[in-house]
Structure 1
């Protein structure tokens, strides 16, 4: 790191000494013993502009306080059947670790429907997975691999992506904005796998809008990406949809054990859900755990995110019109995927 950046960090640390005690408390809960590394993430997100990074962090801390994010891991989604419905329609899971010890987060973009619960439950679930990653998963990896681990890899499965995905664009933009503003620079690389034509067309339109820093993080792999991913992780850590061509997001292994890291029955989700229920018991010793979603204030999307969402929407409409003309010409009833 350059001397200029060392000065930026020093200046940022100085500014943080002046925040009130409540903000210092939530910052401590957020940095998990690594305050400098946390400041560096916010500096990177704002291209090393100290004033902008400081404002970003202050806004993040205020968001955490106002929405009681420090306590969100003590608020389970109940009953279990409702949580299972969320898991079945919001396909996210931890499949393992890279050879360097980074958590590998698998996301079933194409087959997630987000139609089994209210938006608030999906946002609550996403933030809980973020917090569990930062408070439990990353610290365990740090201890196991003997070096500070605060980032992850994400493998995005586009299997089943259809034009109807446009219906989830608003929710996905909300979740993306929450991550961008409050969990910046947490993902080292995004790997896109099983990409159909519709993704390729959108990617071509969206790519020029992305900042260079973001573009460098995204790798579109051929097919299921197995061979490329095996260079950075063992087979056991490969998401199930990367293990063979055409495996798809919803398949289980054939040996009778659950191998789908999206499923509530997977070890990761069982541990996460049990952890949340245990935290709830500690906090609500004399009161029953209440049913109901946590209402988190949704931040205003970044203008860049808005432009990207509008471009995706425009591209989807163009593809739909193109498909409509194709179907009329062919007299066919096939669906563009």
Structure 2
């Protein structure tokens, strides 16, 4: 684990003092009043190498300017039916807070289909959630809990994970690369729940390929993870798929009320969607809100990510061959390419 020293921070601060005004402006949306903490995140992502961390941050700031990321929260995805389709096919939401005040982000990895829109809409939606988390949710959590909060917890539901997930590798690699390069060290811990055999087999292959700092953040829990997660969050903050004592995804909470945090009807998504529409009105004044996806430049994946994606694909193919599914896997690979 890299230890960030005061000298590293001072060197970084000296370099950042020399950047141009446009970069300084977008950096404000990155650090949200805590520039030193932001620089520390980039230092951790580059193992304490000041030069590499500075290059990474400058590349991030240029990416933000070139793709108008500062205004991403003023670009709602409309009409509502299209956005509902995104929410129904990319299962992600916020279920509450940990006892320490960290937002709990739930992700339905196994049941996400990514089949309701183009890749650009999914990327736009994902970046909007990142920006809303960093510029609205985390500052609000800091105020609520009386201390600076800059990270979240993610609970990944593997219910329904199948070999057909190979279809999603390209999109997931794009999203992962955007997060790694532009939103580093924003997740405190990843909890894996409801893991089927196919995940366990792939995890054995992928785990050794991960950097130590990433590997230490990932915990694979038994079944729905309910008992373990209740040690760090209250029942009300549990994602709906963790509220069963055994394994398997739960669509409803124990009292019979719908609390699916993936749904557009959930309070988190309603607040986020209304926020983007209000921001659009402020930016566009009396002009109508534009329809259509907002294209973002896709960064080249890190060699490490490419290696992991290849390893997952190879392992899926091996599992498919074991089950006599080699022909369907070939079709999946063609579609993924």
Q: TM-score, normalization: structure 2?
A: 0.94
Following the alignment from structure 2 to structure 1, what is the Cα–Cα distance between the partners of residues 82 and 298?
A: 22
Q: Is residue 2:268 matched to residue 1:268?
A: yes
Q: Match for residue 319 of structure 1?
A: 319
Q: 1:29: Cα distance to partner?
A: 1.6
Which whole-Å deviations, capped at 9, do the CAs of 1:241-262 have from their partners, x for residues lacking one? 000034516x134756430000
Which whole-Å deviations, capped at 9, do the CAs of 1:153-188 have from their partners, x for residues lacking one? 000000000000000011001000000000000000
Which whole-Å deviations, capped at 9, do the CAs of 1:207-240 have from their partners, x for residues lacking one? 1101110110000000000000000000000000
Q: Is residue 2:249 matched to residue 1:248?
A: yes
Q: Match for residue 329 of structure 1?
A: none
Q: Match for residue 68 of structure 2?
A: 68
Alignment of 1:103-118 (within 5 A): 103-118=103-118
Q: Contact 2:154–2:187 at 8 Å: present in 1 too? A: yes
Q: 1:64: Cα distance to partner?
A: 0.2
Alignment of 1:108-147 (within 5 A): 108-147=108-147
Following the alignment from structure 2 to structure 1, what is the Cα–Cα distance between the partners of residues 306 and 9?
A: 30
Following the alignment from structure 2 to structure 1, what is the Cα–Cα distance between the partners of residues 106 and 90?
A: 11
Q: Contact 2:92–2:108 at 8 Å: present in 1 too? A: yes
Q: Match for residue 332 of structure 2?
A: none
Q: Match for residue 50 of structure 1?
A: 50
Alignment of 1:2-13 (within 5 A): 5-13=5-13
Alignment of 1:147-162 (within 5 A): 147-162=147-162
Structure 1 spans left out of the alignment, 5+ residues: 327-337
Following the alignment from structure 2 to structure 1, what is the Cα–Cα distance between the partners of residues 168 and 3?
A: 44
- Against the structure 1 CA distance between its residues 278 and 240, is the aligned structure 2 distance closer, same or farther, given a 3 Å change threshold? same
Structure 2 spans left out of the alignment, 5+ residues: 327-337
Alignment of 1:271-310 (within 5 A): 271-310=271-310
Which whole-Å deviations, capped at 9, do the CAs of 1:103-161 have from their partners, x for residues lacking one? 00000000000000000000000000000000110011000111000000000000000
SS in 2 for 1:324: coil
Q: Match for residue 193 of structure 2?
A: 193
SS in 1 for 2:323: helix
Following the alignment from structure 1 to structure 2, what is the Cα–Cα distance between the partners of residues 276 and 87?
A: 15
Following the alignment from structure 1 to structure 2, what is the Cα–Cα distance between the partners of residues 164 and 268?
A: 30
Following the alignment from structure 1 to structure 2, what is the Cα–Cα distance between the partners of residues 78 and 247?
A: 33
Q: Is residue 2:176 matched to residue 1:176?
A: yes
SS in 2 for 1:155: strand
Following the alignment from structure 1 to structure 2, what is the Cα–Cα distance between the partners of residues 180 and 119?
A: 18
Q: Match for residue 333 of structure 2?
A: none
Q: 1:36: Cα distance to partner?
A: 0.2
Q: 1:4: Cα distance to partner?
A: 6.7
Following the alignment from structure 1 to structure 2, what is the Cα–Cα distance between the partners of residues 258 and 272?
A: 19
Which whole-Å deviations, capped at 9, do the CAs of 1:55-101 have from their partners, x for residues lacking one? 00000000000000000000000000000000000000000000000
- How big is the alpha-carbon RMSD for the aligned residues of Structure 1 and Structure 2? 1.6
Q: Match for residue 38 of structure 2?
A: 38
SS in 2 for 1:154: strand
Q: TM-score, normalization: structure 1?
A: 0.94
Q: Match for residue 79 of structure 2?
A: 79
Q: Contact 2:93–2:106 at 8 Å: present in 1 too? A: yes
Q: Contact 1:161–1:199 at 8 Å: present in 2 too? A: yes
